[in-house]
Amino acid sequence: MHFTSEQHLDDGVVEREFTLGEIPGTLWTPGSAPAPLILMAHNNGLPRREPRLVARARYTAARGYAVATIDAAGCGDRPRSAADDRARADLRRAMQAGEPVDEIFESFIGPLVEKAVPEWRTTLDALLTLPEVDGPVGYSGWTALGIHLAVTEPRIAAAGFFAGGYVPRAQREEAWQVTVPLLFLLQWDDEGNPRQRALDLFDAFGTKEKTLHANLGGHTGTPWFELEDGGRFYDRHLR
């Protein structure tokens, strides 16, 4: 892991860009160290510099957590293939037109999840060697990735998932294997995430400790207070 930049932010948070082989990432750490770690991923592999993700990460780091995110293959600073670009365009077009998207979603997002999880685990290995980072480890963000990571990575001690209406079939089928404490956020009027599918997915999770927070509004309308509630959730399970 090589750090390429360092910036000191408000509240004593330090933001550093890093590379790990071909994987670019960002690490936020609080003034107090070592700190529990939260891996933070944006839905469907959007760039790690997406403003909503950055805002969540900075807030969480100010609460006393180390927070890390990476660009998955084909996203952000990573090279993108022509096939990936076509699949993204097809998915956007179908969703905007109200057409069925399951086949496109499976062919694009399913492989994206399969490629992303090993990179997240490699990143986790490297992060836990840093003196300012400590366990236990939490996860926050993209539901499909989070399911597969929680099932395959025993160091994940708690998880927060967002949306969940469109999740590849493979991750729906392994949802029962998610046994860590779970906080599931659902926007009730999210036009891009079928509500009943998300509710069915919540029901399928195997954990005995799961909480559903549902708020009115569209995909980007999650109330700010959910960050505070999420912080309390991680406080209970990572400290």
Beta strands at 2-8 and 14-20: parallel, antiparallel or unpaired: antiparallel
Cross-strand pairs, 5: 17
Query: pLDDT digits over 148-184, tens only?
Result: 999 999 999 999 999 877 888 999 999 999 999 999 9
For the domain covering 2-79+112-238, report its CATH number.
3.40.50.1820
Q: Is the dihedral of CA 210, 214, 220, 223 positive or negative?
A: negative
Cross-strand pairs, 103: none
pLDDT averaged over every residue in the chain: 90
Domain locations in the chain as residue ranges: 2-79+112-238
Please, which pLDDT band fits residue 44 given cuts at 50, 70 and 90? low
Place of tokens 């509500």: 195
Among 231, 223, 233, smallest CA distance to 63 is for: 231
Contact 94, 101 (CB under 8 A): yes
Query: pLDDT digits over 195-223, tens only?
Result: 899 999 999 999 999 999 998 987 777 88
Please, which pLDDT band fits residue 2 given cuts at 50, 70 and 90? very high
Cβ burial of 34 (10 Å; 0-12, 13-18, 19+) is: middle
Q: Is pLDDT of 4 > 90?
A: yes
Contact 81, 108 (CB under 8 A): no
Phi, psi of 41 (to 5 degrees): -125, 140
Query: pLDDT digits over 14-42, tens only?
Result: 999 999 999 999 999 998 779 999 999 98
236: three-class secondary structure by DSSP? helix
- The pLDDT value given to residue 31: 85
Percent of the chain with pLDDT over 70: 98
